[in-house]
Amino acid sequence: MIKRTIYLTLLAIPLFLMAKLPEKSSAGAPAAHTGAPGEGNCGTIGCHDDNSTNSGNAILNVDMNAINNYIPGKIYPINIRITEPSVERFGFQLVALVNSDTSNAGNFLLTDVVRTQLVKSQYQFQNREYVTYTYDGTDAVNTGLGEWTVNWKAPVTNQGAITFYASAVSANDDESDKGDHVYTKSLILQPNYKGIELQK
């Protein structure tokens, strides 16, 4: 009887430890949570909603190698980076929309399928394409740094101004959605008319 009790106790220990591991969402952020026109973000509609958006100490950046215009059909790398000292868990979502009608602009091309994935909404904004994190993509690259890279292919024709809308989460890793902070950022690209002329 004693041996049986010891065996069951030893068996229960790893199960208890597994249950206490920090949770990570394998599905990524739900589509349409970037703060783009018509959308909320994870701090206003759902999960991480107990702190005001952009009220924490993290810094969110969306960078395309400092470019501010696009040539139709060309592929551009995008870097999404959020920093906050001591944080070990982050998440993000990104969408690109045409300013004139808020339709989807171009396409995202994954460069890191381990940390990023593409998602679409099953309900509203079904035409919009989103890139977000994966299960492994929530881990900090280094303590205090969340970072993801993806390529974006510009529309094949001039669509006028295009805006990238990003939302990111700096999580406290307490096995819940509470106490986290959500941030938003946008980046506007104008068409490169010189490049368009060269393509003709």
13 inside domain:
no
> Cα separation of 172 and 191, whole Å?
40
Output the six-digit token pair for 43: 């701090």
81: containing domain: 23-199
3-state secondary structure 92-137: EEEEEEECCCCCECCEEEECCCCCEEEECCCCCCCCCCEEEECCHH
- CATH classification of the domain holding 90: 2.60.40.4060
What's the average pLDDT block by block, 10 residues per block, for the chain (200 residues)? 44 36 57 86 61 90 96 98 97 97 98 97 90 96 98 98 97 71 97 65
Residue 2: inside a domain, yes or no?
no
Model pLDDT for residues 3-36, shown as the tens digit of each residue: 444 443 444 433 333 333 334 444 688 887 899 9
Please indicate, yes or no, whether the overall pTM of this predicted structure exceeds 0.85.
no
Number of domains observed in the structure of the chain: 1
Dihedral angle sign, alpha carbons of residues 122, 125, 128, 134: negative
CA distance 49 to 194: 44
Q: 29 lies in a domain?
A: yes
7 occurs within a structural domain: no
Local structure of residue 138 (DSSP, 8 states):
G
Domain membership of residue 174 (yes or no) is yes
Helix residue ranges, H only, the chain: 2-19, 193-199
